[in-house]
Amino acid sequence: MFLYDLPNLLSILILVIVSFRLGFIPLWLSFFLGLFAFTPFFLNNVLFSAGYMPDQFQYFHITQSIRSLDLEFYDSRAVETASWMLALFPLPYIETIQSLGFFNRMLVTILIIWLYKSKKLRGWPLLFIIFYPSLLLYSSLALRDTLVLIFMIMAVIFFIENRRLLALLISLPLLFIKFQNFFLIIVFFVAHLYFSRDSLFFKYRQIFLILVIASLAPFLMTIIDILDYSRLNMFIEDGGYRGSYEHMRTIEDFVIAAFQSAPYFLMKPLPWEADSFLQFLQSFENILIFIFLGFMFIKTSRFDKQIAFKWFVYLFAALSIYGLVVFNFGTAVRYKFPFIVIVIVGMAYELYLKHGKLILNKGSKQ
């Protein structure tokens, strides 16, 4: 079965080589993209058991059955829709659980080449998305997270470019593969309109904010109840006892829990909370990510405080919502990494687009 994945690997390597020969990417970037194309071989049943992330088997079996035209209905529409997207991706073989890892690795390779060539991603943000361990890990497994990341990051970039209808259309698949991320992208759209000086909403941003709050107010307790219900289910699923669960009954409970959950969600698992070698590595990754985010926000604020503040507010909001409902450490790392990537790339791209600045060192400009 190993031989069946070689054509998938070679497809990625050919893409990298052609991109280099066409001048789309430099030699050093093509080297690392080619090197990391091999990572799906070294994860499942090597670094950890494939059963550690058992939902990989769902995506593998469904995409394989779609390719075999053995069509049937499945319990999870999100899993089935994501599997259809992967099955239609033009790589030749789905014969092992590693196969879809190469599919996702190809998608991320295309994304990085596009960001470098078309969006002028350079410096620290570029190095970050190349070497970010969680991105490398989850983009090399048989999961939907890479699709989620790509739809989110493209929607964010197009919205920053004021191609708002295209951004909305690009974000629509999220409704079917991870609906909560679709609503969090809408939160970004609203935040961007509120903070952007070149937006028609900026002059009337206070009225705009009042209208948004007024439209949400009648449904606020319903939203809190839904979040509380989801939170309870995930608490029990992670081994918690119903009797020890603390409900969110009021708006005050919700606000307090949200403010507490955001920083903890960013840092979980803490080193002393890790119960496996992989989680122990992820706990140290969290510390490095915290430091790097601080560095990025400080560098960005030196050029444009409003851009830095807007992205900080959005990251805090996204982490708060997920932090409220996610208790499992592995799930926390998996759910938050797309938002970390989006904030780093989006902040850097918006700074470049508005000021011609690339976050390499102070005062850099290309």
Q: What is the mean pLDDT of each run of 10 residues along the chain (366 residues)?
A: 86 97 96 96 87 89 88 76 91 90 96 95 93 95 95 95 94 93 91 76 72 75 80 77 78 82 88 82 92 93 90 92 84 91 94 75 43
Among 20, 16, 165, 141, which residue's Cα sits nearest to residue 86? 141
Is 32 within a domain? yes
Contact predicate 307/327, CB 8 Å = no
Specify whether 115 is located in the same domain as 252. Answer: no
* Domain boundaries, position 167: 144-366
Straight-line distance from the first to the last Cα atom of the chain, in angstroms, rounded to the nearest whole number: 47
Quick one: 216 exposed, middle or buried, by C-beta within 10 A (0-12, 13-18, 19+)? exposed
Contact predicate 97/56, CB 8 Å = yes
Specify whether 115 is located in the same domain as 148. Answer: no
- What is the sign, positive or negative, of the torsion defined by CA atoms of 27, 33, 36, 37? negative
Torsion of Cα atoms, 335 then 152 then 44 then 38, to 10°: -140
H-helix or E-strand containing 325? helix 305-325
Specify whether 170 is located in the same domain as 309. Answer: yes
Specify whether 18 is located in the same domain as 163. Answer: no
Specify whether 200 is located in the same domain as 304. Answer: yes
pTM value is: 0.89
